[in-house]
Amino acid sequence: MNRQNDISNRKLLGIAGVGWMFDAMDVGMLSFIIAALKVDWNLTEKQMGLIGSINSIGMAVGALFFGLTADRMGRKNVFILTLLLFSLGSGASAFATSLSIFLVLRFLIGMGLGGELPVASTLVSESVPAENRGRVVVLLESFWAVGWLIAAVISYFIIPKFGWQLALILSAIPALYALYLRWNLPDSQKFLSVKQTERLSVLSNITAVWSKEYLSETAMLWILWFCVVFSYYGMFLWLPSVMVIKGFSLIKSFQYVLIMTLAQLPGYFTAAWLIEKVGRKFVLIVYLIGTALSAYFFGSAESVALLITAGVFLSFFNLGAWGALYAYTPEQYPTKIRGTGAGMAASFGRVGGILGPLLVPYLSTSGFSIHMIFTIFCVSILIGAAAVLFMGKETKRQELA
């Protein structure tokens, strides 16, 4: 029976992870595509920042809408719907002829992506035994690093020679295959065990998330999600462009970002091992502090060696923290409001994803140095770590309600 469960869990992880990987490909390539569009469409820095922010607005709307829907329709149905929306939007954006059309499609892609991620982690959390739950969810998140690596390779070899349009088509086609795999995926048994009569209305779910019983958990998650997403999208969407600002060519910046991205995998794997050994809070706090210090040194780096070293540690700690965040979030709520709670936290976090990409060009054109901008991200991450330290509770190996 245990062997059967292990096979089932691996299948679930593989199918969910493949979709997660293709989502990461799109987000990873976006930073390179923005840099390429600057040349093709003669975009200003503020227009470049708008692309990333529109994507995050879509993710905020998607996380909220699909998180609420997952508690009514089920995890699997929303899982399929979000990937379909993402795939079609990504393929269509390859044929965009103007910035306005591209922005509309990026909003739809963002909705699909923003809805899928919290729903996927909720589904996996509810389907895996408590003693392995944290590790499996972090391993699910590790597919994000694989997607980023593929995005970096495609961006390095495809975009400079064949254009950003082909890169987008390449990201959309495999995602449709992931949709095919997901069709036969079973829904969460925990969700199915909650009878239709016991499921709350959408308004009741929202109210329950902010009720006295879950007030501390919700406040902690919202602060944490905002700080992490604000800093992540502010930093990582601008990595290729920051490299150019620091004097490197676009091709060289692709190479350096690829090296930094390789560090994401050991970041995930160490977090996956530690999360069941020492707990969620320890991993989140330590990896967030590591992210903050790395961000500070990356922003102040003047030499290639220091820039690469700081970038490697930035990727290692930041993505390890992301894995722990996705494992930790669904564990704060019972099944009947888990999708809503995770979706609302992710949605509020995406507000930070809207502000982060806009902050970089705004401050840059106002005379702020890259060092000062990355110091702001450093402080933001430390605030998120403090929220976990003082408000978070340990959920290691606890059975989900």
Q: What is the C-alpha to C-alpha distance for residues 224 and 52, in angstroms, rounded to an integer?
A: 20
Cβ burial of 367 (10 Å; 0-12, 13-18, 19+) is exposed
Tell me which residue has tokens 């140095």.
Answer: 369
Number of alpha helices (DSSP H) and beta strands (DSSP E) in the chain = 17, 0
CA-nearest of 138, 170, 140 to 29 is: 170
| Residue 29 pLDDT greater than 80, yes or no | yes
The CATH-assigned architecture of domain 2-182+211-391 is: Up-down Bundle (1.20)
Q: Tens of pLDDT along 256-286? A: 767 777 888 898 889 988 998 888 999 999 9
Token representation of residue 81: 């719907």
Other CB atoms within 10 Å distance of the CB of residue 273: 13
Q: What is the C-alpha to C-alpha distance for residues 113 and 83, in angstroms, rounded to an integer?
A: 7
Token representation of residue 271: 């977090």
| Residue 174 pLDDT greater than 70, yes or no | no
Q: What is the C-alpha to C-alpha distance for residues 117 and 91, in angstroms, rounded to an integer?
A: 20
Q: Tens of pLDDT along 48-65? A: 878 877 888 898 999 999
| Residue 201 pLDDT greater than 70, yes or no | yes
Strand blocks (E) in 126-254: none
Q: What is the C-alpha to C-alpha distance for residues 28 and 168, in angstroms, rounded to an integer?
A: 11
Q: What angle do helix axes 304-328 and 215-236 make, rounded to 10 degrees?
A: 150
pTM of the model: 0.83
Per-domain boundaries in the chain: 2-182+211-391
CA-nearest of 106, 113, 78 to 91 is: 106
